[in-house]
Amino acid sequence: MNKNHYALILAGGVGSRFWPISRTVYPKQFIDIIGNGKTLIQETYQRLSKVCPKENIFILTNESYTQLVKEQLPDITDQQIVTEPVMRNTAPCIAYGCFKIESLNPDAVIVVAPSDQQILNEDAFINALDKSLKTATEHHCLVTLGIKPSRPDTGYGYIQYSDIVINNDFHKVKNFTEKPTLDIARGFIQSGDFLWNAGIFVWSAKSILKAFETYMPDLHDIFDDARLVYNTEQEVAHINQAYQHCINTSIDYGVMEKAGNVYVLPSDFGWSDLGTWASIYELSEKDGAGNAVNSNEKVIMQNSSNCVVNMPGNKLVILQGLNNYIVVEANDTLLICPRDQEQTVKQIVADVKSKFGVEYV
């Protein structure tokens, strides 16, 4: 395995759209949401260990989740857990992780991947990463993996690509678009040159640090000034102070939308970002009425259809005449919400926090 291959797993989010199962103190990346015996972060780590030496895989997370990372990934050393004191979106934490890796190995080529995605065709995923690592090394470009869309989904960002190609498969990116309206998403699908943005990146350490220097110079300087403390006992204290000066923005907005050397690999490996209950519904087995019910055998569906139901195993539940609903109970909280309004869950969490404090979030 190539010793220059590294990975950064993004595992600092709180997963509020999966509330009430996902909580701030125990978010979705540390939960076996699919029910296959492995948490999302464990699956991500195992996938990436097939392209990177295990000692080269780093976990980017909030410092409050350090113990959870250690419990779920016992092979990870303390040095491989990169913690941020506060959430500042993806640009600062990716800059931090890439600077830290570059200080260890200037020739590093880095895969950046979220910890909360489902990938059904692992062989195709590994093949896409191998090709991307090769292309990023040879062409000093910033690579992102784009998913061939199967429907006009409004919950994903989109990437438009051009006919300019390197290494046969990698298309130069034209534009990044945030979550569109349904009509715009339909237009994207019809045009044939748009992909879903999976948030998976591949680049050399030198290329991404140069991009930060060019497009986010203030952020670059913050982490460049920390070079003398990376991988020392002074690192955490220095970074905790430095983070107070970091802008709150995404890597897409800060770098990828601006850089001229961004290429996308159109991919199809059974991807889902597992961002919402709808994504769980799509992946789950369903009964004849289209209901996706968790393993609780005490759930009875009567004249109900197309629901996603996740209830504690010790509770008898009867749903009568309910169609297209999300019904979830966890942590002393019951959520009943129309499936077509699941984007409101994040606001519901904010309202609960405002009314009852952090106890239920």
Residue whose C-alpha is closest to residue 40's, from 125, 118, 132 = 118
DSSP 252: I
Separation of alpha carbons 200 and 119, rounded Å = 12
Does residue 181 sit in the same domain as residue 308? no
Does residue 331 fall inside a structural domain?
A: yes
Indicate whether 222 and 287 sit together in one domain: no
Q: Helix, strand, or coil here: 153?
A: coil
Residues of the chain short of pLDDT 50, as ranges, are none
> Do 345 and 260 have their domain in common?
no
Are 254 and 323 part of one and the same domain?
no
Could you say which of 232, 257, 272 is where a domain stops? Answer: 272
Pair (62, 116) in one structural domain? yes
Write b or e for each residue in 143-168: b if 16 or more Cβ atoms lie within 10 A of its Cβ, otherwise e. bbbbbebeebbebbbbbbbeeeeebe
Tell me how many domains the chain contains.
Answer: 2
Tokens, residue 253: 């907005």
CA-CA distance, 128 to 207, in Å (whole number)?
A: 20
Full-prediction pTM beyond 0.85?
yes
The domain boundary residue, chosen from 237, 272, 307: 272
Q: What is the number of helices (H) and of strands (E) in the chain?
A: 11, 17
Q: Answer yes or no: is 361 within a domain.
A: no
Q: Is residue 106 part of a domain?
A: yes
Q: Is the same domain home to 296 and 231?
A: no
Return the number of other C-beta atoms located less than 10 Å from residue 317's C-beta.
15
Do 187 and 315 lie in a common domain? no
Domain of residue 333 covers: 278-356
pLDDT score recorded for residue 296 = 66
Whether 226 and 293 share a structural domain = no
Asked if 178 and 216 sit in the same domain, the reply is yes
pLDDT for the residue 84: 92
Alpha-carbon distances of 192 from 68, 125, 169, 175, rounded to whole Å:
42, 22, 16, 14
Q: What is the pLDDT of residue 359?
A: 85
Q: What is the pLDDT of residue 295?
A: 65
94 within some domain: yes
Domain end position, chosen among 272, 305, 335: 272
Report the sign of the C-alpha dihedral through residues 327, 330, 334, 340, in that order.
negative
280 by Cβ neighbours in 10 Å (0-12 / 13-18 / 19+) ranks as buried
pLDDT at 195: 95
Q: Would residue 286 count as lying in a domain?
A: yes
Co-location of 84 and 22 in the same domain: yes
Q: Is residue 172 domain-shared with residue 285, that is, in the same domain?
A: no
Cα 236 to Cα 85: distance, rounded to the nearest angstrom: 9
The residue type found at 282 is E
* Those residues with Cβ within 8 angstroms of residue 71's Cβ, 6 or more apart along the chain or in another chain: none
Tokens at residue 24, please? Answer: 């701030």
Asked if 309 contacts 319 with a C-beta cutoff of 8 angstroms, the reply is yes
Same domain flag for 18 and 89: yes
Check which CATH number belongs to the domain holding 215 and give it: 3.90.550.10
Structural domain contains residue 101: yes
Q: What per-residue confidence (pLDDT) applies to 175?
A: 92
